[in-house]
Every structure is written in structure tokens, then in C-alpha cells.
């Protein structure tokens, strides 16, 4: 009985425990309250914040530049009997805006105004204070869109008007030293990573066609024609008489490039590149009948393409910002060679008998002589540049050697004068900008001192001579300064007599009478930064050599045998103030 009672009590306790677990009321949470209760919950739910709409100013940046530079040039023709002294003040103003739509999509526009002081016409209601015939350059320096990291690779695409800078800018540069500078219109693909950089670009240098509104580059050399007939070549329309017309000779032109940089370490970068310049010459005829589509005189390049290929390599350890080197010794070595055809078909050099035939122009019914044999005129040029320096504390001492090939005979089928393309040469061959990387040898030494508080001071000495005595002296943009130095256009190397005629021997004097030295130049430059302003001043003295002296005092002209027009020294000076903000 007692055992039965104990079992019954245990059973009742177990049943009660199960009943309590199934009927227990859950405690009230902080987010709930009984109906009609005046007790507020302990916490309220926090709503998620609404996203803030992007502002138009997000990713937007802007900046400006103002540069003022007075310049003085004295006796640049080295002739005491002429007054060629020049002084002016140039001014450049830039304003740029950039919008970063995303981290990979950027657009930029740079507006630029370039002018000379006193070269702007006054207001219509006021007094003109300058020459009304001058033109100012207010334009768009940059206007492009860049899309980065395409297809999840470091592949960037840049389209529009842009500035190209490669290597030391000896062949492709911004030319920012000048008052206008240089930009290119085109498309560029860029692959950028830590050990390799590759750029492929296609740009349009000139466009001969116009759009519906007549907007055109109107680029190229123009030939002047008097009264002539413009006749459609297919004969479907009547000829139209036109008077005193200027016809453009240079048509579409393109500049392309494939520039690669190997970056194995911070102590060595290697550039390998190809640059191509293609220029189309329009079909023209100097006769009284100008036929649209006519092939032109076979002796000219009319209707043909001038195609120049440039291949080069550059090796340097200037891998840091500002083209600085980590090591005490810095160097930059560059070599380039050029091939291609000019578009001209000329009489071959080997045809000493001048085998000519008579042909008739079907348009003018006139007879002209044409050589029976023809050969293409080709480019065969080279250039080399070396710049080596050693830095001790804040002092750098450097030496440089540059050579651009010249042409000993400009009447044969080979163009041996190096073509300097779209360079920025102001830093390499003298501050006075008296020579290009064409038919020249330049040997120079320099020393500079750089401090944080007192700016940078630099002195350069240049000794520049011709690579080929027979070739011309070429100016900053690579144009021959015919008549400024002794020349022999057809390599008159075997004639030793001094020709005394009314006009002298001109540009075909004997090689024995040609000079080699162009000039010596001493440059002194100092720049001082102050907040957002850079103050820079420079002074150059140029001493002409025998290649210039023998031309100015031309002994091949009877009237000048006893005269002395030559003045040996030229000078250049400037003071430049640049503000950026």
C-alpha cells in the first residue's frame, strides 16, 4: 500500500511538470505592449537611413594657371647691318575642369588663351591699343573622356583632344614652353601595370574635308594660282573659271604610335616604340587648267602619300617623379632611326646621262621633259641622345651628347636629315632654341644646385656643330634656315675653286669652303618657388661659329669681299612668372 502511494505521488508530480511547460505564458518583449496599455515600450524600432542623393559637385575639381613671360632676343642673324632685335611679353591663361563620374570614368576640359601684350584690339567704342591685324589664340587645349579598367583589366581608353608626352619628349611632347603648346585629337589605348606600360594611339593631324557648316582645319601649304579653269576630271560638268585662287597642297595627315615601357625595377626602365606619320598631298597642277582629280606632275609628290616610320629605344634609370633617379648617378640614352618614302619620284642618281623623253600635257597641249627612269625618294635617318649626371647632396653635374643626322646630298633619292616630329626640345640643345635635332652634333656640360628654400640655379655650356657640312642649319621646328649658314645642296665636294659671281656660290659652294661650327651657347637659369607661384629667369649668350660667319661675310660675292657684316654674339633673356591654383 505504501509502495503504491509513493508511485502515485511521483506520477502526479510528473504530470504537473509537463502541464506547466506546455502552458507557460511567454514574457512580453520590448517591442510589444498589451492593448490599451499606457506603458510605453522600452525601445522603438530604428528606421534605416534613406540614401543621400549624389550632388553635382561630387567628383568635380577645377584649377587654373596664369603665366606671364617677357622675352628679349638680340642679333639672332649675327649681322650687324640688320635690325632684328625682338622683345615682347607673352601670356598664357588656362582654366580646367574635371568630373569623375565614377572611379573609372573621367572627363576633362582645359580652356586656354594665349596672347601677346599689346596685340589685342581695343573695344569698339574705345581706342584701339594694338595692331588690328593680329590674332589671339583662345581655344580648347584638352577635351577628353577616359574610361579605365575595362573588362576588369588595367586597360584604359582615352578619346578626344589630349596632350601626349613620351620619354624625354624628344619626339613626342607637350611643347609647354611655348605660348600655345601642343595637343592631339584622337584615340588612345593604355595598358598600365607595375611592370609594363603600353600605349597605342591614333591621332588626326589635319583633315582636308569640312562638315556641313564648313568647319575645317584648312591645313597645309598653299599654292597661289592666277586665273585658271577648274574642270571635273570625268567631264560630266562644265569647266568653271576661277581667279586668283589658293589651292591647298596638304590633305589628310595622321600621327600614330605604339609606345611600350618595360619596368623591371625602380633602377631601370626600357622604352621601345614605333611612331608613324602619314601625310597625303593633294593633286595639283600649276598649269592654267586645274583639273579636279588630276594626278599632277610626276616630278612632284602631288596625289601621293608621304609616309615616315620612326623606330626607337630609350634606356634610363630616371624612374621617379619629375624624372629623378634613386641612385646618385642618373642617365638617359635614346636612339631612333627612320625609314619610309616621301611620295616623290625623282631622277635616279645613277642616270648621269639624263635620259629624258618628251611628253605632252593633254590639258594644256604643252610639251615637257620627263626622265625615262624614276626612283622613289626615301627616308634614311638616325638620331642619338645621351644625358648622364652625378648628384652630390644638392649639386648635380651632368654631361650630354646629341646627334641628329644630316643629308650630304639633297638632290639624290635619299632623305638623310632626321625628322624631329612633335618634340619638346627646349631642355636639350640650348635655352635660346636655335637648333633642332636635325643635322647637328651637340656636346654640353651643366651644373645645378637645388635647395628647398632658395630655388634652383643652373649653368649650361653647349658646343653645337653640323653633322653634315653640306646640309642646312635647321631651326627649332625642323625647318631649314636656307641662307643662314654655308651649304652645298648637291654635295659639291670635288670643286676647290672660290666662285666670285654677282650672286655668289649660293647654297652650292665647294665643300672645302663650308664651315662646321654653328655656335657656342652659355645658359644661366634660376627659378624660385613661392607658395603657388614659380618665378624663373634665364639669360643666354650665343657665339656664332664658322658655318654662320662664312655665310654672313660671304667671300663668294664680289661686292662683299672686303666687307665685314658679321657680328659674333647674340643674346636671349626672359623672366617668367607662373601661378597655379
From first to last of its 581 residues, the chain has per-residue pLDDT tens of 445 444 445 544 444 444 444 444 444 444 444 555 554 555 667 777 777 777 777 889 999 999 999 999 999 999 888 888 999 999 999 999 999 998 899 999 999 999 888 876 555 554 444 445 555 678 899 999 999 999 989 999 999 999 999 999 999 999 999 988 899 999 999 999 999 999 999 999 887 777 776 676 665 545 544 555 665 544 455 676 665 444 556 678 899 999 999 999 999 999 999 999 998 876 554 443 433 333 344 455 666 788 999 999 999 999 998 889 999 999 999 999 999 998 877 766 666 666 777 777 665 566 766 666 677 889 999 999 999 999 998 999 999 999 999 999 887 888 999 999 999 988 899 999 999 999 999 999 999 999 888 899 999 999 999 999 989 999 988 888 988 888 887 776 666 555 555 445 556 677 777 889 999 999 999 999 988 899 999 999 999 999 999 888 877 665 555 568 888 999 999 999 999 98
pLDDT at position 497 is 58
> How is residue 94 written as a grid cell?
588656362
Place of cell 635620259: 355
| Partner residues linked to 383 by β-bridges | 336, 404
Give the per-residue pLDDT at 346. 74
The CA distances from residue 60 to 54, 140, 480, in Å, are: 12, 19, 47
Closest by CA to 420, choosing from 175, 161, 73, 162, is 175
Contact 434, 545 (CB under 8 A): no
Q: What are phi and psi of 322, to 5 degrees?
A: 75, 20
pTM for the full predicted model: 0.79
Euclidean distance between CA atoms 58 and 50, whole angstroms: 18
Secondary structure class of 511 (helix, strand, coil) = helix
Amino acid at each position: 500500500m505504501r509502495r503504491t502511494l509513493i508511485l502515485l505521488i511521483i506520477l502526479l508530480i510528473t504530470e504537473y511538470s509537463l502541464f506547466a511547460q506546455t502552458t507557460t505564458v511567454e514574457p512580453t518583449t520590448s517591442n510589444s505592449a498589451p492593448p490599451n496599455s499606457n506603458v510605453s515600450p522600452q525601445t522603438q524600432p530604428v528606421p534605416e537611413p534613406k540614401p543621400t542623393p549624389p550632388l553635382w559637385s561630387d567628383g568635380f575639381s577645377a584649377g587654373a594657371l596664369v603665366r606671364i613671360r617677357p622675352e628679349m632676343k638680340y642679333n639672332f642673324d649675327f649681322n650687324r647691318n640688320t635690325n632684328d632685335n625682338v622683345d615682347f611679353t607673352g601670356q598664357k591663361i588656362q582654366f580646367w575642369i574635371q568630373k569623375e563620374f565614377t572611379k573609372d570614368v573621367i572627363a576633362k576640359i582645359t580652356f586656354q588663351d594665349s596672347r601677346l601684350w599689346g596685340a589685342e584690339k581695343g573695344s569698339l567704342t574705345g581706342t584701339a591699343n594694338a595692331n588690328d591685324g593680329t590674332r589671339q589664340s583662345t581655344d580648347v587645349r584638352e577635351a577628353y573622356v577616359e574610361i579605365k579598367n575595362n573588362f576588369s583589366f588595367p586597360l584604359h581608353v582615352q578619346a578626344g583632344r589630349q596632350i601626349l608626352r613620351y620619354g624625354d619628349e624628344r619626339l613626342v611632347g607637350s611643347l609647354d614652353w611655348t605660348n600655345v603648346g601642343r595637343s592631339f585629337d584622337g584615340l588612345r589605348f593604355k595598358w598600365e601595370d607595375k611592370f609594363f606600360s603600353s600605349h597605342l594611339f591614333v591621332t588626326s593631324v589635319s583633315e582636308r574635308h569640312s562638315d556641313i557648316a564648313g568647319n575645317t582645319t584648312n591645313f597645309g601649304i598653299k599654292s597661289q594660282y592666277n586665273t585658271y579653269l577648274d574642270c571635273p576630271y570625268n567631264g560630266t560638268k562644265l569647266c568653271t573659271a576661277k581667279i586668283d585662287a589658293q589651292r591647298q597642297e596638304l590633305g589628310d595627315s595622321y600621327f600614330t604610335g605604339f609606345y611600350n615601357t618595360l619596368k623591371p625595377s625602380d633602377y631601370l626602365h626600357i622604352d621601345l616604340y614605333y611612331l608613324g606619320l602619314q601625310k597625303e598631298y593633294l593633286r595639283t597642277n600649276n598649269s592654267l587648267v586645274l583639273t579636279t582629280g588630276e594626278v599632277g606632275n610626276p616630278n612632284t609628290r602631288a596625289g601621293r602619300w608621304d609616309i615616315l616610320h620612326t623606330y626607337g629605344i630609350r634606356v634610363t634609370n630616371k624612374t621617379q617623379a619629375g624624372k629623378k633617379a634613386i641612385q646618385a648617378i642618373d642617365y638617359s640614352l635614346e636612339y631612333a632611326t627612320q625609314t619610309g618614302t616621301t611620295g616623290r619620284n625623282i631622277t635616279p642618281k645613277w642616270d648621269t646621262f639624263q635620259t629624258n623623253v618628251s611628253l605632252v600635257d593633254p590639258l594644256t597641249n604643252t610639251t615637257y621633259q620627263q626622265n625615262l627612269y624614276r626612283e622613289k625618294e626615301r627616308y634614311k635617318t638616325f638620331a642619338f641622345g645621351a644625358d648622364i649626371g652625378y648628384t652630390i647632396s644638392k649639386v648635380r653635374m651632368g654631361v650630354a651628347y646629341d646627334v641628329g643626322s644630316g643629308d650630304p646630298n639633297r638632290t639624290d633619292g635619299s632623305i638623310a636629315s632626321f625628322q624631329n616630329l612633335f618634340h619638346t626640345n627646349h631642355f636639350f640643345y640650348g635655352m635660346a632654341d636655335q637648333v633642332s635635332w636635325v643635322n647637328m652634333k651637340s656636346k654640353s656640360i651643366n651644373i645645378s644646385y637645388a635647395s628647398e628654400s632658395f630655388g634652383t640655379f643652373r649653368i649650361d655650356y653647349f658646343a653645337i656643330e653640323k653633322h653634315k657640312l653640306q646640309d642646312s642649319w635647321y631651326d627649332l621646328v625642323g625647318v631649314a634656315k636656307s641662307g643662314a649658314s654655308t651649304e652645298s645642296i648637291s654635295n659639291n665636294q670635288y670643286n676647290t675653286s672660290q666662285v666670285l659671281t654677282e650672286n655668289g656660290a649660293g647654297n652650292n659652294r665647294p665643300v672645302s669652303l663650308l664651315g662646321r661650327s654653328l655656335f657656342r651657347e652659355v645658359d644661366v637659369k634660376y627659378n624660385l618657388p613661392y607658395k603657388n607661384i614659380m618665378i624663373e629667369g634665364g639669360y643666354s649668350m650665343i657665339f656664332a661659329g664658322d658655318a654662320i660667319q662664312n655665310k654672313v661675310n660671304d667671300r663668294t660675292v664680289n661686292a662683299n669681299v672686303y666687307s665685314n657684316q658679321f657680328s659674333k654674339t647674340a643674346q636671349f633673356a626672359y623672366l617668367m612668372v607662373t601661378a597655379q591654383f
